């Protein structure tokens, strides 16, 4: 008998001998009076064994049949090798039309003697940070280096962004490393697909924030370091940046990596993907499926995304200040951009211009905010990387001196010669050696 059924025989004996009433027995067993009357009749007819539950030791009518159990265990060991219990349950329902529960899959896995994919640990005590109320108020960003292709392809780093209010993944992108090009890509994906968030939450990587100890005199006077290339982009777009001081501070994106490293790896293996290009092409489908399963409704239904500006491609860029050469060209590394003639045949030689390197490799030359020229896009393997400090971090250049006319130059030269004192004669020891002068000096004929 179960612990619930153990008091029943003693109460039934007391009830039959008249020491307690039906109502007292019902109150002690937490059942109705009619149920007590049924138990009393069963006890009188078959004794204490009749008080046990009628379904005890009987097989469940909802149990899995042997063919279904064998099919699931075969799939678990072949096609879905390495899938966790929840992920495997979803695949069995969607692809094989097998309506099984996660607990049934767990029992079948344990019957095979296979350990769980991820071991459960006791949760650590932390102070919970409440979610933001509206979608777009705060987006957490981070990168994860992992063997995403399980040795079938190159090593990659996944960069991602997740909304804090709804746990909705807003951008994912594979890169060889965690670099500026990858963060600029997920920024552009998020801004174009959803809009501009109010703030971003990330770590102290030097791509996003200054983490060096160098302060220029201009920075010391201003009381703050100049931003990085992407920091200047966020500042121009009006997006705040919150730097996390620990991994737990941005726990939502950290937990995202725990789920994605399990599910995405299995999905990539299931589709036989072996290249970074194919993996990036699959990410939109994965994001849609992930958000359908795990996204939750926010506290406020109205999102706070802001529309992206029309010139977003020019804003998400690296910026440098350059001086135009005399042949009206501007250089950035090994690349050279030819500036065409301005209005009325104007030349821009010796002018200070701003050179922007875009995400697709184009170079845009701007003078006083106006676009002078744009170069064609770079090859497909182009990667945006900082080629130096951004133009905002450099002191303003001295203005170029206006050219003088030839007449004015000659007049200034004659005036300087007339006003200047006569040049002193050099000392004899500092003159060039001459044998003739040396002989005269020995004869005493040299008078200086």
pLDDT tens digits, one per residue of 268-293: 999 999 999 999 999 999 999 999 99
pTM, to two decimals: 0.70
Strands 139-146 and 199-202 come out as parallel
Q: Could you tell me if 159 and 265 lie in one domain?
A: yes
What integer pLDDT is reported at residue 446 of this predicted model? 47
Greater model confidence, 124 or 7: 7
Q: How confident is the model at residue 213 (pLDDT cuts 50, 70, 90)?
A: confident
CB under 8 Å to 326, separation ≥6 — which residues?
349, 350
Q: Could you tell me if 186 and 283 lie in one domain?
A: yes
Q: Could you tell me if 266 and 148 lie in one domain?
A: yes
Lowest mean pLDDT among 34-38, 121-125, 311-315, 394-398: 394-398
Condensed to tens digits (0 to 9), the pLDDT of residues 327-381 reads 999 999 889 999 999 988 899 999 999 999 999 999 999 999 999 999 999 988 8
Condensed to tens digits (0 to 9), the pLDDT of residues 214-254 reads 888 888 888 888 999 999 999 999 999 999 888 888 889 99
Given a cut of 80, whether residue 422 has pLDDT beyond it is no
Q: Under DSSP, is residue 357 helix (H, G, I), strand (E, B) or coil?
A: strand
227 within a domain of the structure (yes/no): yes
Q: Could you tell me if 206 and 267 lie in one domain?
A: yes
29 within a domain of the structure (yes/no): yes
152 within a domain of the structure (yes/no): yes
Burial group, residue 261, by CB count within 10 angstroms (0-12, 13-18, 19+): middle
Residues 131-143 have a mean pLDDT of 95
122 within a domain of the structure (yes/no): no
- Complete DSSP assignment for 51-70: GS-TTTT---TTPPPHHHHH
What integer pLDDT is reported at residue 128 of this predicted model? 75
Total domain count for the chain? 4
CA 183, CA 172: separation in Å to the nearest integer? 10
Q: Could you tell me if 46 and 75 lie in one domain?
A: no
Given a cut of 80, whether residue 412 has pLDDT beyond it is no
Given a cut of 70, whether residue 415 has pLDDT beyond it is no
CA 51, CA 5: separation in Å to the nearest integer? 7
Residues 395-413 have a mean pLDDT of 55
What integer pLDDT is reported at residue 448 of this predicted model? 45
Q: Are 382 and 374 in contact (CB under 8 A)?
A: no
164 within a domain of the structure (yes/no): yes
Q: Could you tell me if 247 and 143 lie in one domain?
A: yes
Q: Could you tell me if 174 and 268 lie in one domain?
A: yes
198 within a domain of the structure (yes/no): yes
What integer pLDDT is reported at residue 380 of this predicted model? 84
Q: What is the mean pLDDT of the chain?
A: 87
CB under 8 Å to 267, separation ≥6 — which residues?
282, 286
Residues 186-209 have a mean pLDDT of 95
Q: Could you tell me if 352 and 380 lie in one domain?
A: yes
Q: How confident is the model at residue 125 (pLDDT cuts 50, 70, 90)?
A: confident
Given a cut of 50, whether residue 170 has pLDDT beyond it is yes
Q: Could you say which of 259, 294, 329 is where a domain stops?
A: 294
Q: Where are the beta strands (DSSP E) in 19-153?
A: 139-146
- H/E element, 354: strand 352-358
Side-by-side strand order, sheet with 169-175: 169-175, 156-163, 139-146, 199-202, 240-243
- Domain range for 34 is 8-51
Lowest mean pLDDT among 91-105, 138-152, 423-437: 423-437
């Amino acid at each position: 008998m179960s612990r619930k059924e153990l008091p029943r025989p003693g109460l039934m004996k007391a009830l039959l001998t008249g020491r307690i009433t039906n109502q007292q027995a019902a109150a002690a067993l937490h059942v109705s009076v009619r149920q007590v009357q049924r138990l009393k009749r069963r006890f009188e007819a078959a004794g204490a064994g009749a008080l046990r539950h009628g379904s005890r030791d009987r097989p469940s009518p909802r149990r899995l049949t042997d063919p279904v159990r064998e099919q699931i265990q075969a799939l678990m060991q072949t096609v879905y090798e390495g899938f966790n219990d929840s992920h495997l349950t979803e695949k069995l329902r969607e692809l094989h039309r097998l309506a099984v529960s996660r607990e049934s899959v767990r029992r079948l896995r344990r019957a095979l003697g296979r350990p769980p994919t991820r071991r459960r640990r006791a949760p650590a005590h932390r102070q919970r940070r409440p979610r933001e109320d509206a979608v777009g108020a705060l987006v957490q960003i981070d990168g994860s280096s992992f063997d995403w292709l399980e040795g079938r392809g190159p090593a990659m780093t996944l960069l991602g962004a997740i909304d804090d209010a709804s746990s909705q993944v807003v951008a994912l992108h594979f890169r060889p490393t965690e670099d500026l090009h990858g963060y600029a890509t997920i920024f552009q994906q998020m801004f174009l697909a959803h809009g501009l968030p109010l703030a971003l939450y990330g770590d102290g990587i030097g791509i996003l924030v200054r983490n060096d100890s160098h302060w220029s005199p201009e920075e010391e006077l201003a009381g703050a370091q100049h931003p990085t290339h992407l920091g200047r982009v966020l500042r121009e777009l009006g997006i705040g940046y919150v730097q996390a001081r620990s991994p737990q501070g941005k726990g939502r994106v950290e937990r995202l990596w725990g789920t994605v490293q399990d599910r995405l790896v299995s999905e990539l293996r299931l589709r036989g993907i072996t290249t970074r290009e194919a993996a990036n092409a699959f990410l939109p489908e994965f994001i849609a499926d992930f958000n359908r399963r795990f996204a939750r409704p926010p506290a406020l239904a109205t999102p706070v995304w802001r529309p992206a500006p029309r010139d977003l491609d020019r804003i998400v860029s690296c910026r440098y200040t350059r001086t135009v050469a005399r042949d009206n060209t501007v250089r950035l590394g090994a690349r050279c951009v030819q500036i065409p003639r301005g209005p009325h045949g104007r030349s821009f030689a010796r002018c200070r211009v701003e050179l922007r390197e875009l995400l697709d490799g184009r170079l845009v030359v701007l003078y006083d905010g106006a676009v002078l020229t744009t170069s064609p896009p770079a090859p497909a393997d182009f990667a945006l990387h900082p080629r130096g400090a951004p133009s905002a971090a450099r002191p303003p250049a001295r203005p170029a001196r206006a050219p003088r006319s030839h007449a004015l130059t000659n007049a200034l030269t004659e005036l300087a010669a007339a006003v200047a004192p006569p040049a002193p004669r050099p000392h004899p020891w500092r003159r060039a050696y001459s044998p003739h002068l040396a002989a005269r000096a020995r004869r005493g004929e040299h008078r200086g």
